Each structure stands twice: as structure tokens, then as C-alpha cells.
Amino acid sequence: MSFFRSVLLASLISLLAALGLLYLGFSMGYEEFRGGYAVITVDASIDDRELRSVLEAGNYFGPDFISESSQWVMLDEFDALRRIPLDNFSSRIFPFDPRNDGYADKLREVFVKDNKRFVYIPLFAGNWNSGLLDRKFNDLLVDINYSVDYFGIGRPLALFFIVYSAASVILLILCYLNRKVHRSIVNIIPMIPVLSSLGFFGAAGIGCAALLFGLFILLKEPLNELVNPPAAAAKGFDKRMNQLYKEIILPYRYYWLFLPVFIFAFTVLIIFSQLKMIFLLSIFIASFAVFFFSLKIVSLSGVEHKRFNPVTIVRRRFPVFVFPVYILPFVIGAFLTVFLAPYMSGSFDNKDFEISISENDYHNHLTHQVTFSTVQMGSLASDFPSYFFDTDGLPSVRRTRSRQNINFNEYPAFPLKHLTEFFHNISDGSMSEKSPGTIADKLYLLILIVFLFPGFLMKYNINASKSSMESIKKLSGKLRLMGINWNKILLYNKNSRIRSRKDA
């Protein structure tokens, strides 16, 4: 198989693995938009229904935004259980009415609190751009003083993948420019597609990609020896282990000593970033499989011959680390993402916003209204019997004296479940992993700079080797000149044997 076809086949396998990982990432919820709300705050004196009519006039948000007049409470009217609009509840029920269980007042605090009125507009993929929303609010709420906060708009996933793609293009250019110097660097090209799914995690993912590229470049030579053993391989376990030690472990001992640094860097990224361990493990397995496959197939194409292993005459004190040159675009891309992400539309706002109501409050309210007509009032003593509706539709005494069990599936679901869970996750910090965050939150990325230092060491080794070769050339030149002069002396000396043989 030709060199071009082998690289193309390895890249195709990597592309298929990348599609699978991208599908896995989307299915696990790492997509660009993760849902959220725009919270409009106005003065409490503004009528909610008038505010809703103004917002609905824009034909942009739809009728699904949440406000006081859109909510309801359940009320037992003895003949049936009915929904009562929240903003009309106080005019329908007196405060001393035993059916008033306090749920309506608690629900109203979600929309009116501290002389402020709140309206919650659900954000979706078609209206999540904060800049566009600001313009819409300014056009609609011209005569109303308001403020707006955006929560959970999502992450600028397009920025992440654009930066990764740009870094990958630069990597390809570097591979092409250094194709004669680092000929076997071609094994790293098929890794570009399979590592693309790390773009889900922004700067941390791009930094992790940089580490993986560096790790694969560092271990390329020893792993190639392992994947493609020589034809005359030793037989027997002891001899194979001895051969493994002499040909893989010992010659590349400095490479293996650098391996714990990579492990430590991966650990730091996993602990301090939003990288998901399960997804990251899937990427590791897929990338290593593609890398081993590319080593094997490219070697069979004749790019790396195993029959001839050149041995350097002058032993190097340190190995030549070439990976810093190739991971530099991804390191720069990771830091560039840190600076750009907070200014991109879609950044996450993680400030606290308290909503005191919960689904459990709604279930208690529903239970109170459903059982109100069958439970004796005026006493909390446990020896009073309770009642339930029997199969004939008439109240019957519950002999077990336990409260009636309610099947909540038979009644309307809690209408604010998504809203309350969303802001509860913001308050307890579980939503903070979805934020691009601030620059201070990304200081752990400074560990990537450590992997650029071997590049200076490589440059020093190259300069040192060049100066050594120049010294050897100068010395060999002097020795050659001394030899020529010495031969001339012997040749033209009358007592020389060489002269005698020449004359003869």
C-alpha cells in the first residue's frame, strides 16, 4: 500500500471514530445550547397582564414565557377541583378560608418580591443570542424601566471547534514544512479527527488535545518499536523481555521518565476543569486505538523501515524532544479561548437567583385540596377518622386512619418544575460547569507551558550538536592537512622508502 493511501485509510478510521464520539457527546448533553432563561425585572406596580401583552406583541418570544398571570393554583370547590389563576386567587379566597394552605402566597413570591416583578422567558436554540434579545427588549419595553439577566444560555461551542480546527490546520502546515526533518511525524495526522470531540470542553478540551498530541509524538518511536518488532525477534519469554529492555525501555528511558509529567497534567485538567471522566476515557481508548493502527499501517507502507536502524556515533546526553513545536498551536488556542469565551454570546451567568418554591410544595398543596372534603377539620388528633371516595362515589370511613394516598399522575404536573430545578442547580453550583467562566478560573491551564520548555532544550541540543560537528570538521580538516603534508615530506625525502619505491 502506498504512503498516501495508508495515511488516508488511517485518517478515515479516525474520522469514523470522531463521528461516534461527537454523537456520544451530543447524546450526553455537551451540545451548544443547554437551556436557560432571560429574567426581566420591572417595578411591582406594573400590571402583569399588560406586561405580557407588550411582550407578546413582538411575536418573538411566543406565549410560553412565565409570569404571575400565567400560573394557577388548585382549589377544592366541593363539587370539583378547579384551577384558579394566581393573580385572581386573593379576590376569590379570603385569608382565613381553611382551603387557603399558603401555597398561593409562596408561589406569588416567585414573581413579585421586594417591590419587583419578574418575568421568566425560556430560551431555546432559536432565540438564545443575548445581543438580539437586548435589541428586542429595547424595542418592546420603550416606556418601561426594566433590567434583564440571562441564565444558562449555553457555551460558545462554535468558538471552541473553530479554534481547534485552526490549530489543526497549523499542525498540518508544520508537518508539511518539517516532512524531511521529522519524516515519521505523519503518524500524528490521523489523530486530528478523533481528538476533535474535545472541543466540547472549550479551553480545557483544547489543552487536553495538546497534551495528547504531545504524548503521541513523544511515544511514537518506542511504540513503533513495540508495534512493529524486527523480523528476527527473540524467542522465549526471558529473551523477549531482555530484547524489550534493550531496544525499547533502555534507549528511550528519558521518554518514559517524562511520561509521569503528562499523567500529572491530565490529572490537573480533570480535577479543575469540566472534563467528563467517562467521555475522556472513551476518547483515550479511541485515540490510542487509532494511533496504534496508524503506526502499523504506515509502517507497512514502507515509510518506516525496520530492517535498518541507524545508530548515532556520538551518544546524546538528552533526547531530542520535538513535540513542543507541534503542540504549540493548541496551547495558544487554549489560552485564546480563555480570553475570547467570556465575550462571546452564550456565556453562562452563574450569579445566585433564589426561588423558594419546589415540587414538594406543589404536591402538599395538591394533597390538601384533593383530601379537603374527606378529612375532618378543627383538630389534629390522630383518633379522628378520615374519609375517602368509595367505588360507589360516596365518602367512606378509612379504617386504617391513614391519610389518603394521592396519585399525582392523575392531576396536572408541577408547572414550574424545570424553572425551579434550573435555578436550584445554579444556587448549589452544579450548573457552574457549563460556564466558560472567567480568566481566573482557568489558571490551571498554565501547566501547559511546562510542555513548551523541552523545545528550548531541543534547540540547545541542536545548536550544541552543530557546534560539535563543526569542531569535528575543523579537527578532521587539520588532521587531513597534516597527513597530506606528512606524505609530501615522506614522498620528497631522499631517504624515504616511498620515494625509493616511486623511483623504482
> By percentage, how much of the chain surpasses pLDDT 70?
64
Task: Write out pLDDT tens, residues 47-92.
Answer: 999 998 888 886 666 667 899 999 989 888 777 788 888 888 887 8
Residue predicted with more confidence, 261 or 61? 261
Of 13-17, 40-44, 140-144, 407-411, the one with minimum mean pLDDT is 407-411
Full domain range(s) for residue 238: 3-32+157-347+443-453
Residue 111 lies in a domain: no
Residues 485-504, mean pLDDT to the nearest whole number: 48
Q: What is the pLDDT of residue 403?
A: 52
Would the pLDDT of 216 be above 80? Answer: yes
Residue 205 has pLDDT above 80, yes or no: yes
Digit-coded pLDDT (tens) for 397-411: 665 545 556 777 778
pLDDT of residue 425: 73
Q: Three-state DSSP class for 213?
A: helix
In a domain, 83, yes or no: no
Q: Calculate the alpha carbon distances from 502 to 273, 338, 487, 490 in Å.
A: 83, 81, 13, 11
DSSP 353-410: ------HHHHHHHHHHHHHGGGB--S---TTS-EEEE-TTSSEEEETT-PPPP--GGG
Domain assignment present for 20: yes
Q: What is the mean pLDDT of residues 172-194?
A: 82
Q: State the pLDDT at residue 171.
A: 92
**Mean pLDDT on 158-184:** 86
Rounded to 10°, the helix 277-300/202-218 angle is: 30
- Whether residue 287 lies inside any domain: the answer is yes
Give the pLDDT confidence score for residue 381 in this predicted structure. Answer: 43
Q: Given a cut of 80, is residue 180 above it in pLDDT?
A: no
Looking at the domain assignment, is residue 166 inside a domain? yes
Question: Residue 468: its pLDDT value, please?
Answer: 43
User: Could you tell me if residue 82 is inside a domain?
Assistant: no
Lowest mean pLDDT among 30-44, 131-145, 243-257, 450-464: 450-464
Average pLDDT of the residues in 224-242: 62
The type of residue at 9 is L
Q: Output the average pLDDT for the chain.
A: 75
Q: In the predicted model, what is the mean pLDDT of residues 231-247?
A: 62
Q: CA 382, CA 87: separation in Å to the nearest integer?
A: 36
Domain assignment present for residue 417? The answer is: no
Predicted confidence (pLDDT) at residue 254 exceeds the cutoff of 90: no
Rounded to whole angstroms, the Cα distance separating 414 from 417 reads 6
Tell me whether residue 76 is in a domain: no
Total domains in the fold of the chain: 1
pLDDT digits (tens, 9 = 90+) for 283-301: 999 998 888 888 776 555 5
